[in-house]
Amino acid sequence: MNIAFAVIVLGVLGALFGLVLAVASKVFEVKKDPREEAILSHLAGANCGGCGYPGCAGCAAAILAGNAPVTACAPAGAENAAAIAEIMGMSAPTGERQVAFVRCNGGTNAVKRFEYVGVKDCISATKVAAGPLECDFGCLGFGSCVAACQFGAMSIGPNGAAVVDPEKCTACMACAKACPRHLITSVPASKKVHVACANLNKGKAAMSVCSSSCIGCGLCQKECKKDAIHVENGVAVIDYDKCVGCKLCTKVCPRDAILPIATAEEKEKYKAIKKAQAEKAAAAKKAAEEAAASSAQ
């Protein structure tokens, strides 16, 4: 009897609260745009914050409000961006997948100014006498970008500079924001040739601080058949719209600052080919001159 009584009282109490909640949900109903849910389902869902909005829900709301482009979520990729564009009634955007790239291959090649023993964090390191490297543009290798990456795509490479795993990278660019030296940029995923140096100094000033620095000599610019690499402000910059990935620049770079670094063998081979070509051209020229001379006689 007692049990039945308790069950009834609590049951009534529960039903009462349930009723109040049911009424409240109607009274306090907030109309939500169903498109927001739809957009949210096409975002990456990692809440990485790479878009600059608080979480994926914030990004979805911003896209719906027109404050963010449909491509705001880089990790979700082009496919999902197209789906979002469809939800928003826009035409699908074009553009290929981007990945992050660290513009420094120095690491242990760079000359150390002093031995830094403080907190293992790049920002902290740069606060001590402008950083432990002689190169003001080099990767410090304390891994602030590695810590910032939610996708496990960043690591400190064998030579002490950060590297990106393009397979895992989603171009959220959280690493770029974490890097105090602004070394990380986004590059098209399909392109394989990159200048791995950001040193704006020229000649000796760049040469003395690191063994793999771009010194702005311009050999790559001369060698490029597609006009795709130029020395700008003392550092070589690749125009990815023109680059075809022939790797000629990597073979002539005296500083090994262009990735993928050509081996000594490849360089020798290319030198030999060039030499042979030059000889052939000289011979042809000589022959043409002789022919011209004999016809004049």
Partner 1 sequence: MDQITNLLAITLGAVLANNFIFSQFLGICPFLGVSKKVDTAVGMGIAVTFVMGLASAITWLVNTFILVPLDLVYMQTVAFILVIASLVQFIEMFLQKSMPTLYTALGVYLPLITTNCAVLGVALLNIQNNYNFIESVVYGITGGLGFLLAIVLFASIRERLVFADYPKNWDGFPIALVTAGLMALAFMGFSGLKIW
Residue 244 beta carbon to partner 1: minimum distance, rounded to whole angstroms: 46
Q: Which of 266, 267, 262, 259 is nearest to 243 (CA)?
A: 259
Task: Please list, in sequence order, all residues whose beta carbon lies within 8 angstroms of the beta carbon of residue 115, skipping any fewer than 6 positions away.
Answer: 132
Q: Which long-range contacts (CB under 8 A, 24 or more apart) does 161-164 make?
A: 161/102, 161/104, 161/105, 161/106, 161/107, 162/102, 162/104, 163/102, 164/99, 164/100, 164/101, 164/102
Residue 112 beta carbon to partner 1: minimum distance, rounded to whole angstroms: 23
Q: Radius of gyration over alpha carbons of the chain, in Å?
A: 30
Question: What's the token pair of residue 267?
Answer: 């360089």
The answer to whether the CB of 183 falls within 8 A of the CB of 137 is yes
Residue 225 beta carbon to partner 1: minimum distance, rounded to whole angstroms: 51
Query: CB-wise, 26 or 225, nearer to partner 1?
Result: 26
Residue 17 beta carbon to partner 1: minimum distance, rounded to whole angstroms: 4
Residue 146 beta carbon to partner 1: minimum distance, rounded to whole angstroms: 16
Residue 30 beta carbon to partner 1: minimum distance, rounded to whole angstroms: 5
Query: CB-wise, 121 or 136, nearer to partner 1?
Result: 121
CA angle in degrees (0–180, nearest 5) for 72-73-75? 150
Residue 263 beta carbon to partner 1: minimum distance, rounded to whole angstroms: 39
Q: What are the strands, taking DSSP E only, across 182-275?
A: 184-188, 194-195, 229-232, 235-238, 258-259
The answer to whether the CB of 147 falls within 8 A of the CB of 123 is no
Query: CB-wise, 14 or 218, nearer to partner 1?
Result: 14
The answer to whether the CB of 212 falls within 8 A of the CB of 107 is no
Number of separate helices (H) and strands (E) present in the chain: 11, 8
Query: CB-wise, 124 or 159, nearer to partner 1?
Result: 124
Query: CB-wise, 19 or 90, nearer to partner 1?
Result: 19
Tell me the three state secondary structure of residue 121: coil
Query: CB-wise, 16 or 287, nearer to partner 1?
Result: 16
Residue 185 beta carbon to partner 1: minimum distance, rounded to whole angstroms: 28
Task: Please list, in sequence order, all residues whose beta carbon lies within 8 angstroms of the beta carbon of residue 124, skipping any fewer than 6 positions away.
Answer: 118, 142
Query: CB-wise, 68 or 248, nearer to partner 1?
Result: 68
CA angle in degrees (0–180, nearest 5) for 137-141-143? 120
Residues that bind partner 1 in the complex, under the rule CB under 8 A: 5-6, 9-10, 13-14, 17-18, 20-21, 24-25, 27-30, 119
Query: CB-wise, 13 or 276, nearer to partner 1?
Result: 13
The answer to whether the CB of 180 falls within 8 A of the CB of 158 is no
